Every structure is written in C-alpha cells, then in structure tokens.
Structure 1
C-alpha cells in the first residue's frame, strides 16, 4: 500500500463505488440470513426480533434513524454474538445520527437489567453510563423496543416494508456531519 500513487488510489476509489452502492443490499441479505435460524430456546428468529423492534419503533412515531436502528440493532449477532451490539453499531454508524449508533452500541449492557441477576451478574452495569447524554434513550430503547420484541404473536410488519428505509439510510453519504449531528440527542419518539 505504501507504494501506491495518487492515481492508483483514485482508480481504486472509482472501482469501489459499485461495491459501496450495494451496502444496503448486503445488509438486507444479512437480515434475511438471520431469518433462517431460530436459536434454541427462542420462539422467533433474529430477523423477526429486528422486525418486531422496528415495527414497535415505527408505531411509536420514531423517525427513520431510530426505526432503522431498531431493525438493525442485532445485525452483528450472527458473526459476533458476544459483542454484537458494538458490531451492529459499526454497521450503521456512518449513516445514522451519532446518538442512534451510541444506543445500538450500548444496548447489550442496558439489556442486562432484565436478565443479568439470573446469572449472578450485575444487572445495573449500565449505571456506569448514567451521566452520558444518551443514557435515557438507551434505557427507553431497551424497554420499549428490544426486551419486548420476542413475542411470536405480535403483529409484525414484513421486511419488505422496511427495505426502502434501509436503502434510504445506506444511500446517504458516509460520515456526513449533517447526518451524524455529533452531540445532538434526539427524542426516541415524537
């Protein structure tokens, strides 16, 4: 790489454009793969969980970034189950507001409130983030959209409903400051 010229890298940049333009398609493919497996003990697939979370977010009046964040909050689970929250956040981070990415990145530790005590773990581990400006949003995200979205009888919207939203978000310019809005904390619901 160190021997590459400016012309080499401009050529590579141009050649990468078609691949980058297919990011939304790859994300949607990963979601579909998540629908092929129901983990032992669960009554719905990871895809159904994401769809249910996004459906709840949309019905609560959340905006596009929150809906897509809810849909994709566990997208990293297939490859990185022990740190799926951070991996999921990295998938969406270039394309959504920073607070949405922060919530997705930290939802795993916030979810421990509901189950950690059953394993002898600290269910209040999230308290180390108590002074973070996104703490309340993350707690509410988990309460409203994540922990409640394992219901096989919930009237969940299909993936086709959310596909245009995923395409819209991943069509944005990556790391656009106008999109990321660093430091701004949005409302979870309208």
Structure 2
C-alpha cells in the first residue's frame, strides 16, 4: 500500500530535508485538529466493545462520571477528564489510566492529568481486599498535593458511576466540551498551570 498525495523524499528520517519536514508539519495540522473527533469515535465504540460483567457499558460509565462532574459545577478540564478517564480500556486494559492521562496531558492542567494517571491505584481502595491486594496502596502518594483531588475524583465521580438507573447526559452533549479542550495549544503554560491545585468543586 502506498501513500496518496504529496510525500517526503526520505526513507530514513535522518535523510530528510527542511522541505520534507515543512511538508509534514503542514500535513499534520488537519490531523491534529481531528483529535477530538477521533476520541469521540473511540468513546462511541465503547458502547459496543466493552468489559463484560458490569451492568453498564464503558461509554455509559464515562458519561455518568462526566455528568456527575458537570452537575457538581466542575470546570471543563474536570468534565472532559471524567468523560475520558477510561478511554484507554480497549487498547491498554493493563495501564488504561496512564494512557488516558497521556492523551489529556497536553490539554488540561497538571492537577487533572495527575489525577487521571493515578485513579487506577486510588480505586483499589474499593475492591483490592477481594483480590488480596493492598487497599491502601494509594497511601504512598499521601504527601502529594493532588492526593485529595484524586481521592475525591474516585469517590464522587468514578466508583459511584456504575448505576444503570442514573440519568446521565448523552454523549452528544459533551461534543463541544471535548472539541474545546483539544483545540487548545498543546503544553501551553496557561493550559498546564503547573503547580496549581484547586481540588474538586463542592458537591452539588
């Protein structure tokens, strides 16, 4: 299979010219602009290909978590993070939390990406004892500034969002939120807001 349209001259990256890399930079722009829509398609796919045994799909779990965040008055970073926190389940079920964090990291503040990265460990508190795991594994992060944020994220929006009767907002209602977050300039200091920790809003 060969590529269609303009292509670079090299077959080894080290042989590329300035013109080659300028071409790639230009061609990359529409692809980057489509990130939000690719994530939304992945979310939609979680309605069909999902983890067995739960009373709801993985998509519904994300929708419930994001709806709870929205109804608590959370800001856009938290809402989109709640929606996407398990986006890695289909491709990286053993480290889905870190995969989701890396997807979000360039576009949300550091507090939020840290919480998504560590939510898997924090969730063990609810079920780890059934497997012989240490339910207090999260305690190794007890002195981290984001500890409380992650604890609350898991308690209020994650572990509680497996309820088939919960009136969740539809995926379509989050499309604008996802597109807004992923249209930000990646890694911009005003987006990352390094060192800032505000916690979750008070529960509604």
Structure 2 segments unaligned to the other structure (5+ residues): 1-12
User: Which has the greater radius of gyration?
Assistant: 2
Unaligned runs of 5+ in 1: none
The alignment of Structure 1 onto Structure 2 pairs a total of residues equal to: 190
Paired residue for 1:48? 60
Residue among 152, 162, 186 paired with 1:174: 186
Moved over 4 A (4+): none
Cα offset, 1:70, TM superposition: 0.3
Tell me how far apart the structure 1 counterparts of residues 201 and 93 of structure 2 sit (CA, whole Å): 28
Of 164, 177, 193, the residue aligned with 1:152 is 164
In the alignment, which residue of structure 2 is the partner of 1:69? Answer: 81
Structure holding more helix per residue: 1
Backbone CA RMSD of aligned residues: 0.9
CA displacement at 1:174 relative to structure 2 = 0.9
User: How far, CA to CA, are the matches of 2:88 and 2:191 in structure 1?
Assistant: 22
Q: TM-score, normalising length from structure 1?
A: 0.98
Counterparts of 2:18 and 2:142, CA distance in 1: 46
Offset of 1:16 from its aligned partner?
0.7
The range that moved more, 48-57 or 90-99, is: 90-99
Return the alpha-carbon distance in structure 1 between the equivalents of residues 89 and 51 of structure 2. Answer: 11
Contact kept? 2:148, 2:199, Cα under 8 Å: no
Q: Determine if contact 1:38/1:44 at 8 Å carries over to the other structure.
A: no
Corresponding residue for 2:30?
A: 18
